[in-house]
């Protein structure tokens, strides 16, 4: 049985750990609020670009505008997966659930590593794929908690270029979609080709008639890559909100567990202390009786 000093030491260390997890929970809550605000504010921008691109792509009744980024390729030789993870742990199943799902999809769809490639954001994902020998074409780590578009512009534009150049025939984004503080949903979104420009409310949204200068083809050539890059950035903002929600929940659970552990150790300590006092009293009474 542990001594009173050992039990007391465990109580002190657990209390210190509780202070740390509580502080991390509060920090995550503050970051979550900012991340949600940023992700929500970016949605109208993406929707407006999609609306314009969809209008241009649909063209007039006489002529439909086409672009390679809008058309499925006849033969899919290689697929890319852009996986968004965190740089740090202590966020519950945020990373493990996503990476397990990604590997499951890869194993189902591909027979060899020659058929796919990984583009990864986040140190946890980078280390995970490296250990398993998965081919990584691009990686970025050390992103800020509230990332700006300039931080991921290079990897986003290069990803789009690899599709345009034919290195990949299709690209998917894998990330955790934020639903609530306690719920994050592992999501697969097709990035390229852009075959679903209308979204879920395409039939409800009236088609707008734009006047283009110089012509729709030139505008699409400039706008489509930017739209694809904005989808990547939007997914990153959504994933960041999910990360902080998961971390807040994990630290909240850790704080609660620390409280329960402190109560258990305190009860054990009091019982052991009471037993020690009782033992001392018995020894004193026994000694006094022996002197009579």
CA distance 146 to 240: 8
Catalytic residues: 91
Residue ranges covered by each domain of the chain = 4-25+250-291, 31-248
CB atoms within 10 A of CB 100: 13
Residues in the chain: 292
Domains 4-25+250-291 and 31-248 share a fold: no
* Residues 120, 86 contacting (CB under 8 angstroms): no
Q: Which residues pair with 25 in a beta bridge?
A: none
CATH number for the domain running over 4-25+250-291: 1.10.287.80
The architecture (CATH level 2) of 31-248 comes to 3-Layer(aba) Sandwich (3.40)
Burial 241-256 (b: 16+ CB within 10 A, else e): bbbbbbbbbbbbebbe
State which H helix or E strand residue 139 sits in.
strand 136-140
Per-residue pLDDT of the chain (292 residues; tens, 9 = 90+): 578 889 899 999 999 999 999 999 999 999 999 999 999 999 999 888 888 888 777 765 555 667 788 888 888 999 999 999 999 989 999 999 999 999 999 999 999 999 999 999 999 999 999 999 999 999 999 999 999 999 999 999 999 999 989 999 999 999 999 999 989 999 999 999 987 765 555 455 555 566 667 777 788 888 888 999 999 999 999 999 999 999 999 999 999 999 999 999 999 999 888 888 887 787 777 777 777 6
CA distance 104 to 121: 19
């Amino acid at each position: 049985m542990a001594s009173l000093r050992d039990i007391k030491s465990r109580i002190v260390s657990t209390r210190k750990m509780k202070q740390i997890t509580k502080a991390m929970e509060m920090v995550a809550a503050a970051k979550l609020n900012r991340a949600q605000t940023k992700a929500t504010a970016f949605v109208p921008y993406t929707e407006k670009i999609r609306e314009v691109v969809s209008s241009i792509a649909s063209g007039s009744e006489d002529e439909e505008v086409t672009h390679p980024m809008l058309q499925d390729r006849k033969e899919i030789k290689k697929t890319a997966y852009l996986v968004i993870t965190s740089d740090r742990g202590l966020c519950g199943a945020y990373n493990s659930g996503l990476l397990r799902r990604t590997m499951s999809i890869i194993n189902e769809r591909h027979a060899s590593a020659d058929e796919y490639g990984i583009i990864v954001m986040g140190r946890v994902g980078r280390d995970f794929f490296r250990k398993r020998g998965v081919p990584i074409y691009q990686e970025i780590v050390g992103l800020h908690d509230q990332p700006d578009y300039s931080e991921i512009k290079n990897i986003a534009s290069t990803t789009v270029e690899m599709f345009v150049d034919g290195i990949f025939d299709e690209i998917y984004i894998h990330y955790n979609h934020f639903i609530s503080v306690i719920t994050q949903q592992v999501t697969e979104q097709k990035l390229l080709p852009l075959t679903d420009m209308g979204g879920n409310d395409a039939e409800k949204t009236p088609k707008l008639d734009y006047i283009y200068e110089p012509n729709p083809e030139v505008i699409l050539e400039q706008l489509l890559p930017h739209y694809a890059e904005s989808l990547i950035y939007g997914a990153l903002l959504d994933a960041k909100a999910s990360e902080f929600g998961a971390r807040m929940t994990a630290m909240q659970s850790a704080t609660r567990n620390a409280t329960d552990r402190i109560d258990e150790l305190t009860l054990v300590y009091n019982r052991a202390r009471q037993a020690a006092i009782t033992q001392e009293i018995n020894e004193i009474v026994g000694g006094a009786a022996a002197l009579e």
